[in-house]
């Protein structure tokens, strides 16, 4: 790692942290200092953070603003989308159904959802409930996420359940970890079928309400009073701006919950007490055996030998990432949607929990990573590592590297605007087996591409080289512009399309590379 120059403010913070690094009792005032400094280093509209320790809430507060337009401040009750931190609510819901005898973790999915398909008969017949929630399906990273990313697609649960037969695996079944959102949607559908209510209604009545999480919602549609809902922001274009709130998927099991740090304290305390809750911890949402199932490594992710933290292993449980830090178990998850990022960390051996919510992508990731790491270091009694400045510089480096790649592409495109193109050989209808139709056509004097089932994915095709074009989507809430490469037949007419993202920083959910578009009509 390169050397860093320290500002006066960061030196003051470093001295402050060094002076307290041998004191494992972190105060609310100290957390204020850390977060306030981080807010000056990252371009984030607002954030909220809560810390629980030894069964008590020691910090619970908002920072910045809900919206750069209204300037209203964030507080501990401000709602944020927690995105993939919703996945642990799914596995908690499954645990409840296991204890009711309605399912078993090892039940085959087809026993409960007969129309469920997979890419071969063996995997389909042996795919069990644990496989839905442990990212070990054999499918590649983010496969099929275009069915709901960006939002506004028209795919249904029936479409999803029949789509897996068309996917191409990247590894053998149950041999490798690759993050998968779609199978969590299937898990949500399974909960709905076995409980007799929607996943959203089940999550509300069986989890949120018992825990007293009265200001949390399993879907955006359930929020009737949006006065304390944080607006989504993005820094993709270089300056911070408000973007639309991500709309509903076919269900919210992969990332649909909206919550606040005050409510999420109860969620953290529940897990730190192995499924027990209430004033005297005399109530039980799920038993310790099922809690152990959630916090058992089901999919090995690799060795993580970090000398600073004496770490040795990492893996995925049921809706949680698992690792070891300084001899302690670490349980965590992050979440990300356009304009909303979140992180939850639990250190059960220390009875410690941290949750951070932000309403800005991309810088929100740098904020929650550096703030949580700084607080953890204080509890572990480690020397100050200046995480905030280092994450800030790292994020700028990553963004700069990605911008250099994309700028070079668009500079080349601009230089070739006058090149004559025989557009007739490309115009036509193309079809992918799971994503459906797209059309290449003329819009005025511009060659254009649009996907029928994902209306936000449409934009102009600009010549790049050979038979490759660059498309700048009308959708710009996230960095998703792509290369579009045509394959020609022996008559010189396009017969297929392959795509891939332009930026190295493109989110994995834009899995254009998984499409195999074949020409239907000329």
Closest CA to 422 of 467, 489, 472: 467
Q: Give the C-alpha distances (Å, rounded to integers) separating 492 from 440, 462, 477, 488.
A: 16, 19, 36, 5
What pLDDT does residue 198 have?
97
Residue 466 gets the label, from left (phi > 0), alpha (psi -120 to 50) or beta, of left
- Residue 316 sits in the same domain as residue 180: yes
Domain final residue, candidates 399, 432, 450: 399
Can you give the CATH number for the domain in which 55 is found?
3.40.710.10
pLDDT of 320 above 60: yes
**Domain count within the chain:** 2
Q: Assess whether pLDDT exceeds 60 at residue 218.
A: yes
| Residues 440 and 363 both lie in one domain | no
Identify whether 203 is part of a domain.
yes
| DSSP 8-state assignment for residue 108 | B
The residue whose two tokens read 């991500």 is: 246
Shared domain for 201 and 254, answered yes or no, is yes
346 and 446 housed in the same domain: no
**Are the beta carbons of 479 and 505 closer than 8 angstroms?**
yes
How many Cα atoms occupy the beta-carbon half-sphere of 385 within 13 Å? 19
Q: What is the mean pLDDT of residues 260-284?
A: 96
The residue with tokens 């963004």 is: 399
Q: Does residue 427 sit in the same domain as residue 319? A: no
Q: Which residues of 17-49 are buried (b: 16+ CB within 10 A; e: fewer)?
A: beebbeeeebeeebbebbbebbbebbbbbbbbb
Per-residue pLDDT of 222-237, as tens digits, reads: 999 999 999 999 998 8
pLDDT for 18: 35
For the chain, how many helices (H) and strands (E)? 13, 23
**pLDDT tens sequence across 463-480:** 999 999 999 999 999 989
Are 167 and 278 in a shared domain? yes
Judgement on whether residues 332 and 383 belong to the same structural domain of the protein: yes
Question: Is pLDDT at 148 greater than 90 in this prediction?
Answer: yes
pLDDT attached to residue 8? 31
Report residue 306's pLDDT band, with 50, 70 and 90 as the boundaries.
confident
**Rounded Cα–Cα distance for residues 510 and 62 (Å):** 32
Which residues form the domain of 136? Answer: 8-399
Assess whether pLDDT exceeds 80 at residue 13. no
If asked whether residues 43 and 91 sit together in one domain, one would say yes
Are 302 and 446 members of one domain? no
pLDDT at 522: 61
Residue 489 pLDDT more than 50? yes
- What is the rounded CA–CA span in Å between residue 515 and residue 184? 21
Q: Which of 348, 364, 399 is the last residue of a domain?
A: 399
Q: Is residue 104 domain-resident?
A: yes
Residues composing the chain: 522
Paired sense of beta strands 436-443 and 258-259, if any = unpaired
431 and 381 assigned to the same domain: no
Supply the CATH number for residue 500's domain: 2.40.128.50
Specify which residues 217 forms β-bridges with: 258
95-129: pLDDT as tens digits = 999 999 999 999 999 999 999 999 999 999 999 99
pLDDT, mean of residues 168-186:
97
What is the pTM (predicted TM-score) of this model? Answer: 0.92
């Amino acid at each position: 790692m390169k050397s860093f120059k320290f500002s006066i403010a960061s030196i003051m913070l470093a001295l402050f942290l060094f002076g307290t690094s041998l004191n494992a009792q972190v105060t609310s005032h100290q957390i204020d200092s850390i977060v306030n400094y981080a807010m000056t280093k990252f371009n984030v509209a607002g954030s909220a953070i809560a810390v629980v320790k030894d069964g008590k809430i020691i910090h619970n507060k908002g920072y910045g603003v809900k919206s750069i337009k209204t300037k209203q401040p964030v507080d501990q009750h401000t709602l944020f989308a927690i995105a993939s931190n919703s996945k642990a609510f799914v596995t908690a819901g499954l645990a409840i159904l296991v204890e009711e005898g309605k399912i078993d973790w090892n039940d085959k999915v087809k026993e409960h959802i007969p129309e469920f398909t997979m890419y071969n008969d063996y995997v389909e017949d042996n795919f069990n409930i644990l496989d839905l929630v442990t990212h070990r399906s054999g499918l590649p990273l983010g496969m099929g996420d275009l069915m709901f990313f960006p939002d506004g697609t028209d795919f249904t649960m029936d479409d999803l359940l029949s789509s897996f037969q068309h996917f191409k695996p990247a590894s053998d079944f149950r041999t490798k970890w690759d993050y998968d959102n779609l199978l969590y949607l299937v898990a949500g559908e399974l909960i709905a079928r076995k409980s007799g209510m929607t996943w959203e209604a089940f999550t509300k009545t069986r989890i949120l309400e018992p825990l007293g999480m009265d200001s949390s919602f399993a879907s955006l549609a359930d929020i009737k009073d949006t006065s304390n809902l944080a607006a989504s922001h993005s820094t993709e274009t270089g300056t911070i701006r408000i973007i639309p709130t991500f709309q509903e998927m076919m269900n919210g099991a992969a990332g649909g919950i909206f919550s606040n740090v005050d409510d999420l304290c109860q969620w953290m305390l529940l897990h730190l007490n192995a499924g027990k809750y209430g004033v005297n911890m005399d109530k039980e949402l799920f038993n310790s055996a099922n809690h152990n199932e959630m916090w058992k490594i089901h999919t090995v992710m690799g060795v993580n030998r970090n000398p600073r933290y004496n770490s040795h292993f990492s893996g995925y449980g049921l809706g949680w990432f698992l690792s070891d830090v300084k001899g302690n178990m670490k349980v965590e998850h992050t979440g990300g949607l356009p304009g909303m990022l979140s992180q939850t960390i639990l250190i059960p051996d220390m009875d410690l929990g941290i949750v951070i919510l932000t309403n800005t992508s991309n810088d929100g990731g740098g904020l929650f990573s550096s703030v949580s790491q700084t607080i953890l270091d204080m509890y572990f009694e480690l020397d100050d590592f200046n995480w905030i400045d280092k994450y800030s510089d790292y994020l700028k480096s990553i963004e700069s590297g990605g911008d250099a790649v994309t700028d070079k592409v668009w500079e080349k495109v601009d230089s070739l605007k006058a090149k004559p193109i025989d557009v007739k050989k490309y115009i036509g209808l193309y079809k992918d087996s799971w994503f459906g139709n797209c059309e290449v056509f003329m819009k005025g004097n511009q060659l254009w591409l649009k996907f029928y089932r994902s209306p936000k994915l449409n934009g102009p095709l600009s010549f790049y080289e050979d038979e490759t074009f660059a498309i700048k989507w009308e959708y710009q809430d996230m960095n998703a512009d792509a290369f579009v490469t045509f394959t020609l037949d022996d008559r010189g007419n396009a017969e297929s399309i392959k795509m891939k993202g332009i930026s190295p920083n493109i989110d994995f959910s834009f899995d254009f590379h998984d499409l195999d578009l074949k020409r239907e009509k000329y």
